[in-house]
Amino acid sequence: MALIEKIRRAFERYDLVPKLKKSLSSISILLTIVGIVWILVLPIKGQFRNTYISENALMPSQAYSFFRESEWNILRGYRSEVVKLESLPITARNDVLEIWLKSLGYKTSKHQYHELHSNKSSGDTGENFYAIMHAPRGDDTEAMVLAAPWVTSDGEFNTGGISLAVSMANYFSRLSIWSKNIIILIPEDNKYALRSWVEAYHNSLDKTAGSIESAIVMEYPSDGDHLEYIEVEYEGLNGQLPNLDFVNCAVFIGEHEGFKISLQNTPVSKLTSNTYFDRLAILLKGIKNLAISGVRKSNGCESFSGWNIQSITIRAKGVNGSHDITKYGRVVEALFRSVNNLLEKFHQSFFFYLMLQPRNFVSIGTYLPSVGIIAVGFAFMSLNSFFNNSFTYSQMIGGLEKMCITFLVVIISSIIFGISLLVSTNHINYNLLTQFLISSCVLMSLMPIINLQTIKITAKPTFLYLFQSASYLYITMLAASLSVVHFALAFSIAVLCLPLLFVKVQQTTMIKLQPFINSIALLLSCPWFSIVLLYYSLKDFDSMSSITRNLLTSWSELQSWTWFVIIFGWLPAWLCFVITGSILPLPQVEHAERKKLPVITSSSSIKKKEK
């Protein structure tokens, strides 16, 4: 208490409260800079940690692997047959796989699913094939999945992946060490087809093999015998990640077999480099890929998100390397044997982390404060809008009811707009919709200039300041609450909303460039401007309309929250700033004169009172 009293006296002695009140805007900008710098500091040595295995039972690469050159001829035989299947329809391919795996003792089944948002007729269905090997030493309560889609994430026929999956199934059937069931899954693609199978497995499939502990998705489109390195992808949906132990096992086993490991599409020339900028690039790419998961092209493993399944995608890269395909198979085998050792679910290591290198990471306690600091910066700007004006507290609170009603109308309008698009995804022309969204973004961003020059819509200044204060507070709540479950999306939205700090209520005493500053800030922070930004800054999309389509269909296909975060959070906040940055305040003189009129008296009346 004595310390608090000393601080209070110091504030009174040096008159710090008015000084801090005037500096709220500067403090806000400073905090946002600190929040961004916080992320940039993480790749510096001493700020991150080396990876390690927390669960001792995993014991990666402790057992000798027998999937070696003796299996090469079997793999080549399957591969020569898989090549012939490429031109056949999916049902014919699955019939061939069923014959192969039934002969190995697997229980086979096919999963029919309805194709959403396809160019085909609405009655068409797709087909996934899966086969189950019941563990000789298990109780049929747990399972591991080995998935190899017919088509890779790049749209290529997964020749090597399918061949290796069937070869691994052949190899697994000859081992008696398994305590967990093994599921060989061959989906039509690695996005909706795979996701629909995972949903059906937990809801409607007749043939199941128990709770799925882990899943590995294999991609290798080549029909050759060699590869250069392997790439590990681990991002899930809605901020979810596999347990860090599972990722570490894949990295440790791959390096034990002599592979170089790539994260976030790191080129082969950078795989041996470990500088600050290399770590920063992987960190920022990881945040970006996690933020737009469900919108970008699927990596396969994200389809298992939501059921506490630890899943990764292992992609073979290059065709002229020194490593043969059986090494790739040994990585998968060793991972299966590590998971097979577990007597319980993954729980020892982190579920929230950011990778900097295959052997370096930062945990949630290290990177989470960055969003918190930026959110506090928006909160300070909210206080600045409320206090730093020429109105008293009672005058500001007087317009609270009208402000709340307007704010609620904006939020409801945004939600209705978003939901109406969501329920009509099969009937939308995405090219026209994208053009409409971008055009409306530009037009509404120009409203501060248009309203000043032509329309001249006005409102009470107290309403505008209070409305702007609530808008900043809304962004604070959005970033702070979202960061706990989906840090990457919260950080991305917070950074993209930073230009809103420069949107001001237009006053006659302000600089003449303020309407132009408001327009530029609104344009840069618009949710639809991010579509343009994603298209030109990344190479993951064929067109802008594909981004719009993926945003709208990601919920029905993958249960991704991104569209809901936009229409419930980002878009309403941005629309509120369009209002506060565009509408002109009524002249304060008129309000002052109206308030003073009842108490103004003439000099003659004063003299009469004195007499």
Please check the confidence at residue 427 and state whether its pLDDT lies above 90: no
Please check the confidence at residue 425 and state whether its pLDDT lies above 90: no
Residue 75 and residue 167 in contact, taking contact as beta carbons nearer than 8 Å = yes
Higher pLDDT, 507 or 168: 168
Residue 298 and residue 191 in contact, taking contact as beta carbons nearer than 8 Å = yes
Higher pLDDT, 458 or 9: 458
Mean pLDDT across the stretch 295-300? 90
Q: Per-residue pLDDT tens for 138-185?
A: 888 999 999 999 999 989 999 999 999 999 999 999 999 999 999 999
Mean pLDDT across the stretch 326-340? 94
User: In terms of DSSP H, where are the helices of 262-302?
Assistant: 276-291
Angle between helices 72-85 and 159-172 (to 10 degrees): 130
- Average pLDDT over the chain reads 89
Tokens of 548: 């719009």
Q: Residue 6 — pLDDT band, cuts 50, 70, 90?
A: confident
Give Cα 256 to chain centroid, integer Å. Answer: 31
Share of the chain above pLDDT 70, in %: 92
Please check the confidence at residue 610 and state whether its pLDDT lies above 70: no
Tokens of 282: 């992987």
Give Cα 411 to chain centroid, integer Å. Answer: 23
| Nearest alpha carbon to residue 471 among 567, 537, 538, 570 | 570
Tokens of 188: 């039509």
For residue 11, the model assigns a pLDDT of 64
Mean pLDDT across the stretch 307-328? 92
Higher pLDDT, 455 or 250: 250
Of 107-121, 565-579, 585-599, the one with minimum mean pLDDT is 585-599
For residue 260, the model assigns a pLDDT of 95
Of 10-24, 125-139, 518-532, the one with minimum mean pLDDT is 10-24
Please check the confidence at residue 604 and state whether its pLDDT lies above 50: no
Please check the confidence at residue 467 and state whether its pLDDT lies above 90: yes
For residue 597, the model assigns a pLDDT of 38
Of 103-107, 295-299, 526-530, the one with minimum mean pLDDT is 295-299
Q: How far apart are CA 376 and CA 372, in angstroms?
A: 6
For residue 498, the model assigns a pLDDT of 96
Q: How far apart are CA 300 and CA 146, in angstroms?
A: 12
Mean pLDDT across the stretch 553-568? 93
Mean pLDDT across the stretch 525-542? 86
Q: Residue 541 — pLDDT band, cuts 50, 70, 90?
A: confident
| Nearest alpha carbon to residue 369 among 475, 483, 481 | 483
Q: Per-residue pLDDT tens for 83-109?
A: 999 999 999 999 999 999 999 999 999
Distances (CA, A) of 417 to 352, 549, 552, 604, 610: 33, 15, 12, 63, 66
Q: How far apart are CA 574 and CA 521, in angstroms?
A: 10
Please check the confidence at residue 313 and state whether its pLDDT lies above 70: yes
- Strand bridging mode 229-233 / 353-357: unpaired
Higher pLDDT, 190 or 604: 190
Mean pLDDT across the stretch 333-360? 93
Of 54-63, 102-111, 351-360, 495-504, the one with minimum mean pLDDT is 54-63
| Nearest alpha carbon to residue 368 among 484, 481, 264, 499 | 484
Q: How far apart are CA 434 and CA 438, in angstroms?
A: 6
| Nearest alpha carbon to residue 292 among 498, 488, 40 | 488
Q: How far apart are CA 267 and CA 257, in angstroms?
A: 20
Please check the confidence at residue 120 and state whether its pLDDT lies above 60: no
User: In terms of DSSP H, where are the helices of 292-399?
Assistant: 325-341, 364-367, 369-387, 393-398
For residue 591, the model assigns a pLDDT of 45
Structural domains in the chain, sorted by start: 28-42+367-594 (no CATH), 78-273+298-343 (3.40.630.10)
Q: Per-residue pLDDT tens for 183-234?
A: 999 999 999 999 999 999 999 999 999 999 999 999 999 988 899 999 999 9
**Residue 42 per-residue DSSP state:** T
Determine the 3-state secondary structure of 92 from DSSP: helix
For residue 122, the model assigns a pLDDT of 44
For residue 14, the model assigns a pLDDT of 66
Torsion of CA 311, 160, 292, 126, to 10 degrees: -90
Contacts of 279 (CB under 8 A, 6+ apart): 43, 48, 356, 357, 360
Q: How far apart are CA 128 and CA 156, in angstroms?
A: 18
Q: How far apart are CA 440 and CA 442, in angstroms?
A: 5
Q: What is the number of other CB atoms lying within 10 angstroms of the CB of residue 297?
A: 15
Please check the confidence at residue 39 and state whether its pLDDT lies above 70: yes
Please check the confidence at residue 607 and state whether its pLDDT lies above 90: no
Share of the chain above pLDDT 90, in %: 70
Higher pLDDT, 16 or 475: 475
Q: How far apart are CA 289 and CA 295, in angstroms?
A: 9
Distances (CA, A) of 100 to 104, 152, 159, 205, 483: 7, 22, 16, 22, 47
Q: Per-residue pLDDT tens for 247-256?
A: 999 999 999 9
